[in-house]
């Protein structure tokens, strides 16, 4: 046999209500506001994640740039020593030489 109510009072309700009151008393207006601090390592990891997402979304080949360069190369006057030297300098700078 199971007894649900003793003298019209459910003992579990009084325990639950007591907990709720005690929990709300912990958070008064005199307590310090919440704060968060993020380490430099976490910031750098977030930045690396963001950059990797951008790299994944960026196409490997920019077709519009390739088409423009192909058109320029077709012109026989385009390839001269100044253009070749400039291209070589840019490649060396990109590779760190």
* pLDDT tens digits along 20-78: 555 555 555 566 788 999 999 999 999 999 999 999 998 888 889 999 989 988 988 88
Kindly list the distances between the CA atom of residue 6 and the CA atoms of 3, 9, 31, 34, in Å, as whole numbers in the listed order.
7, 6, 40, 43
Report the helix count and the strand count for the chain, using DSSP H and E: 4, 0
What pTM value is reported for the model?
0.34
pLDDT for 79 equals 82
Q: Please, which residues have CB within 8 angstroms of residue 4's CB and are 6 or more apart in sequence?
A: 10
The two structure tokens encoding residue 34: 């919440």
pLDDT for 60 equals 84
Residue in this structure with the two tokens 């003298």, named with its chain if needed? 7
CA distance 54 to 48: 10
Q: Please, which residues have CB within 8 angstroms of residue 10's CB and are 6 or more apart in sequence?
A: 4
- Whether the CB-CB separation of 90 and 96 falls below 8 Å is answered with no
The two structure tokens encoding residue 10: 């459910």
């Amino acid at each position: 046999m199971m007894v649900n109510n003793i003298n019209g009072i459910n003992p579990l309700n009084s325990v639950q209500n007591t907990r709720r009151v005690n929990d709300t008393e912990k958070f008064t207006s005199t307590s310090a506001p919440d704060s968060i601090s993020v380490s430099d390592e976490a910031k750098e990891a977030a930045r690396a994640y963001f950059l990797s997402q951008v790299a994944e979304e960026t196409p490997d080949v920019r077709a519009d740039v390739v088409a423009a360069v192909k058109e320029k190369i077709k012109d026989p006057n385009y390839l001269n020593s100044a253009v070749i030297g400039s291209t070589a300098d840019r490649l060396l700078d990109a590779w760190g030489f």
